[in-house]
Amino acid sequence: MPGPVPAQTPKEEFMATSDLPVPVVRRPDAPPPDPAALERALRERVDGEVRFDAGSRAAYSTDASNFRQTPIGVVVPRTPEAAAEAVAVAREHDAPVLSRGGGTSLAGQCTNTAVVIGWSKYCDRLESVDPDARTCVVQPGIVLDELNRRLAPTGLRFGP
């Protein structure tokens, strides 16, 4: 006789209800996406800020490293679902996507010629903490120091 079905994790719940397409790799010889068409589609379909102006692109071309790569554009989603929609739009336009948390990388991981999904403005919450399991669920824009400040009363810490 089978035991009880374990509860789904928040990630499993999201993936079960998500209409995200299967991941694909962009062909190296693919023509570049049309930035104007991509920007229009993102503005029509994504709940969030869509930034294709030169100043925003310059601001997101750097992190804490010495690397500089100007993005095609930037999307600052208000929800994880809005980010999923931005990924779907980018895929339809054959545009690469880069997920950017706090922009604090020392090795250039959050700079690239892509549609940058900037999480830190709206998607920066600590969703849940389970001190007994020593786990927590966070949104991708949370900053490490803020996470550790919020975890301190539980005795937990996220390294280093």
Domains of the chain plus CATH, in order, are 33-118 (3.30.43.10), 124-160 (no CATH)
For the cut 90, the answer to whether the pLDDT of residue 45 exceeds it is yes
pLDDT, one tens digit per residue, over 119-131 is 999 999 999 999 9
Residues 6+ apart with CB under 8 A from 60: 51, 71, 74, 100, 103, 111, 116, 118
pLDDT, one tens digit per residue, over 48-67 is 999 999 999 999 998 888 88
Please, are residues 118 and 76 in contact by the beta-carbon 8 Å criterion? yes
Measured in Å, how far apart are the chain's first and last C-alpha atoms? 44
The CB density around residue 132, as the number of other CB atoms within 10 Å, is 7
Reduced to 3 states (helix: H, G, I; strand: E, B; else coil), residue 128 is: strand
Mean model confidence pLDDT for the chain:
89
Global pTM reads 0.79
Strand partners, 101: none
Predicted confidence band of residue 94 (pLDDT cuts 50, 70, 90): very high
Please, are residues 121 and 80 in contact by the beta-carbon 8 Å criterion? no
